[in-house]
């Protein structure tokens, strides 16, 4: 299944809370970190962030081989998607796999749902259109 929603934008808060409990806007965090990175690194981060989208989100269900989930994560990351949803029903058993997500899961928001109904309710509530294949 693939979810689509026009112009979602970045779905996270635009502020961080520091160790002292103070709220910092994203712009302030960027301003504070910029002196510690090279221009090339800052340009690379900007390029990656500007290429991220939350307008399309893959949802996987009924996976038996965990290597397939890793493949979905790698593909989602390669296409610039910011999130993957996985429906993990309690009655399903998984085959462990030596294949990995290649670290792509570190850059994705991965949501795990306990049932199809729970997932569908949440994604439709967020304004996505559900497309099933």
Q: What percent of the chain has pLDDT over 70?
A: 77
User: What's the pLDDT tens digit per position in 22-49?
Assistant: 888 878 888 888 999 999 998 998 888 8
30 lies in some domain: no
pLDDT higher than threshold 70 for residue 84: yes
Q: What is the pTM of this model?
A: 0.69
> What local confidence, expressed as pLDDT, does residue 119 receive?
92
Computed over every residue of the chain, the mean pLDDT equals 79
Q: What is the 3-state secondary structure (H, E, C) of the chain?
A: CEEECCCCCCCCCCEEECCCCCEEEHHHHHHHHHHHCCHHHHHHHHHHHHCCECCEEEEEECCCEHHHHHHHHHHHHHCCECEEEEECCCCCCCECCCCCCCCHHHHCEEEEECCHHHHHHHHHHCCCEEECC
101 lies in some domain: yes
pLDDT band at residue 127 under the 50/70/90 scheme? confident
> What CATH number is attached to the domain comprising 57?
3.40.1280.10
> What local confidence, expressed as pLDDT, does residue 93 receive?
54
112 lies in some domain: yes
For residue 119, what are the domain limits?
A: 2-14+53-131
Q: What is the number of structural domains in the chain? A: 1
């Amino acid at each position: 299944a693939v979810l689509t929603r026009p112009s979602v934008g970045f779905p996270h808060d635009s502020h961080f809370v520091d160790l002292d409990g103070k709220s910092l806007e994203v712009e302030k965090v960027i301003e504070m970190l910029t002196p510690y990175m090279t221009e090339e690194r800052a340009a690379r981060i900007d390029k990656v962030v500007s290429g991220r989208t939350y307008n399309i989100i893959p949802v996987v269900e009924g996976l038996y081989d965990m290597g397939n989930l890793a493949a979905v994560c790698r593909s989602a990351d390669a296409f610039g998607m910011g999130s993957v949803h996985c429906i993990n029903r309690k009655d399903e058993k998984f085959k462990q796999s030596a294949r990995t997500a290649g670290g792509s899961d570190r850059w994705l928001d991965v949501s795990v749902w306990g049932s199809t109904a729970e997932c569908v309710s949440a994604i439709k509530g967020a304004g996505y259109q559900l497309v099933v294949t």
